[in-house]
Chain A
Amino acid sequence: MIDTGMVIEWIIKSLVLILGLTGGFAYLTWLERRLLARFQSRIGPNRAGPFGLGVPIADAVKAFLKEELIPHYADKVIFVLAPVITVVPALTVLAVIPWGEPLQMFGRQVSLYISDVNVGIVYIMAITSISVYGITLAGWSSNNKYALLGGLRATAQMISYELALGLSMVGPALVAGSLSLVDIVHAQQNTLWYAILQPAAFILFFISSTAEINRAPFDMPEAEQELTAGYHTEYSGMKFALFFMAEYIKMIAVSVIGSTLFLGGFDGPFVGQFPWLGPLYLIIKTVIWLMVLIWLRATWPRIRYDRLMSLGWKILFPFALLNVMVTAFVVALVG
């Protein structure tokens, strides 16, 4: 049943999510710079505004004002389209994440998710796969050898790790008995967090999701020391910023999804009495997850490309399969 209030509610929630994600992206770059600087005994950005909080805004203005170059030999339509294809899935993937229990607002019950799809996990997998096209097409259409190599690497890497990623998400789904993320969070409230019940799946998810979003130590596609900048070598101005944005939003998305699947989502102490604590808990968990990703980047060297592939296919994939089988077996026996 759809009424006007519901449409307005959807629009408002979508706006909040998208603006929150873009704002989150801007301040994630700030957080990363500050944290990396601390790890590396530097000071980091501290000039624009208190604690350098104005830096993301300055960056955004800079990206807007820069000249957008399109290489002469590039395939222009695809070249322009590629960043858009990359950034849209990143923005839409979080639609199925529940941020808390429904709240009573303005005389109506407002659920803190945009949509509770009953195949939420499948939706996430499907949407994240689309962004691979953006990266591949960017690498291909630039007509640059470095970009092509970066694009190829990215494609191979993301396709390989999607398998392990998908299988690692099957674990929680099996235990909860549902593919809906709302049900998975509720199931965790009743039992333990799935990071404890499904430790193997948790570790697999962490590794393969880090690879899926091309973060260090799996940041092969953009390996600046080898491929100058990988698939976005030829991009400048706002188009480059879109790639950057996609990457960081995916980082946030993966952290939110991981926290929801394995760390109890919006679950936390007193969330029953005070439902507004839910989003807060989820944000805290997400920020901790993001900090771990930044910490990894500061500490570890990059893994080599062929090793990355063999890790994905020969170690993570069999383990993920094994985990799914064992979990299914145990669930069948117990339940």
Chain B
Amino acid sequence: MTDIREVSVNELRHLVSDRALTGETMLLNMGPQHPSTHGVLRLLLELDGEIVVNMIPDIGFLHTGVEKTCESKNYMQSEVLTDRLDYLNPMGNNMVYCMAIEKLAELDVPERAQALRVILVELQRISSHLLWLGTSGLDVGAMSTFLYCMREREVILDIFEMVSGQRMMTTYIRPGGLWRDVPAEFEPAVRSFIDYMPAKIRTYEDLLKKNELFMDRSQGIGVISGEDCLRYGLSGPVARASGLNHDLRKKQPYFGYENYDFDIPVHTTGDVYARYRVRVEEMTQSLRIIEQALNRLPGGPVRSNNRKYVPPPRSELGTSMEALIHHFKLWTEGFSPPVGHVYAVSESPRGELGVYMESDGSPKPFRVHFVTPSFVNLQALPLMCRGLFIADVVAIIGSIDIVLGDADR
């Protein structure tokens, strides 16, 4: 049992300005239990009236030890943990984790699985942006947008449930392909979604894009220059809103992104409004990618035929000794990729999501490290917030689109 004690200002001396010590400015703890810190972020704010003099973000309240736990699980078991990192982007986390394994083991991924991965990850991107749009609208007080976005997100979650049996923690993308092929209802469901969604995006635009109050709350707020983005290593929509045309789907295409025709929305003002514009335009682009991928969805298997990594189909278990052995090995011990280390990287809805994986040849990864966009982007928060109002802090946190599970792995 630790005693509860009061922290004196003197103990925070190294974090705050001298004015706080004389009582001229006020120290305010925002979070970790606060409605607009998007999870459990704690901010130590030094306020002069309502103006933010300084801010210190404090993370770690959602630390779940995912990376460390991975070291004591085998590769397949660890994948289940990746769903729980960035819980708004489980498909993307699964995908980048599988990309690392595939790179390490030189596993092939069938064409159909690649196309389906693209569709699912882009759906996930839309659902993540929808949640962001809703919650950041809520942060500035536009409450209806939130519920409209949740309604549309529901359709995507239903599609995920249809393919994987789970709405959020899908673990559907597996090393060497997918868990299993999508059901027959998948294609009509996605098609009806991409028919239905553009009108909804226009509704959101009607509510916010030209709304005087929203523009007032977002234009010129939380500005960060492209140069600072590079210095802090920011990525994703935050960087693209500051004029950096950087999207890994174009720069380092994976799973056939180079074959799809889509644009990268880039804005130059670098404020909250630009980030809003980038994300909403990205939703439209994701719809374009999904449509193209659906139109040329190839047939064939959805899993690699490499039995050292991918379990054999159930039908073979009764007839093939080999299949039974592989099945037994995979389910008792797991697969053992060759010794080596790789870095796989993808564009998550929030930015550059990478996995560094080191294998010592055993069935358990020696080290798995996730390079997560929420963590990186969060560093720039004090830079964006200084000199602005406490109300802007809330709008800026929303605009960075942090997921604390992603920052605290």
Contact = CB atoms under 8 A, between A and B. Distances in A.
Interface of A: 36, 39-42, 145-146, 149, 153, 216-217, 219, 223-228, 297-307
A224 B139 CA distance: 9
Interface string B131-163: 000000111111110111001000000000000
Given A145-B26, A225-B36, A228-B35, A298 B389 contact: no
17 contacts: A40-B146, A40-B147, A41-B148, A146-B28, A216-B141, A219-B141, A224-B35, A225-B36, A225-B138, A225-B141, A226-B394, A227-B390, A299-B207, A301-B214, A303-B216, A303-B217, A304-B391
Given A40-B146, A228-B34, A301-B208, 13 more contacts: A41-B148, A145-B26, A217-B213, A225-B35, A225-B139, A298-B144, A299-B144, A300-B213, A301-B214, A302-B141, A303-B216, A304-B392, A307-B216
Chain B interface mostly:
helix
Nearest to B26: A145
Contacts, number: 76
A304 B35 contact: no
Contact of B389 (A216, A302, A306): A306
Instruction: Indicate the size class of the contact surface on chain B.
Output: 20 to 34
B389 to A, nearest CB: 6
A152 to B, nearest CB: 9
Contacts of B138: 225
Interface in B358-398: 389-394
B216 A41 contact: no
B50 interface: yes
B50 to A, nearest CB: 6
A24 to B, nearest CB: 24
Contact of B394 (A149, A225, A297): A225
A22 B61 CA distance: 43
A145 B28 CA distance: 7
Contact of B36 (A146, A153, A226): A226
Nearest to A216: B141
Contact of A302 (B26, B146, B213, B390): B213
Chain A interface mostly:
helix
B147 A42 contact: yes
Interface of B: 26, 28, 34-36, 50, 137-144, 146-148, 151, 207-208, 211, 213-214, 216-217, 389-394
Contacts of A149: 50, 390
A217 B216 contact: no
B142 A300 contact: yes
Nearest to A227: B390
A228 B393 CA distance: 14
A149 B50 CA distance: 8
A305 B142 contact: no
A211 to B, nearest CB: 13
B390 A226 contact: yes
A304 B389 contact: yes
A17 B343 CA distance: 73
Shortest 8 CB-CB distances between A and B: which pairs? Answer: A302-B141, A40-B147, A301-B142, A225-B36, A301-B140, A301-B141, A301-B213, A40-B144
Contacts of B390: 149, 226-227
A301 B217 contact: yes
B211 A301 contact: yes
Contacts of B214: 301
Given A42-B147, A225-B35, A225-B36, A217 B141 contact: yes
A234 to B, nearest CB: 15
Nearest to B218: A301
Contact of A39 (B144, B217, B389): B144
A172 B144 CA distance: 36
Contacts of B213: 217, 300-303
Nearest to B34: A228
User: Among the interface residues B36, B208, B213, B391, which one has the most CB atoms of the partner chain A within 10 A?
Assistant: B391
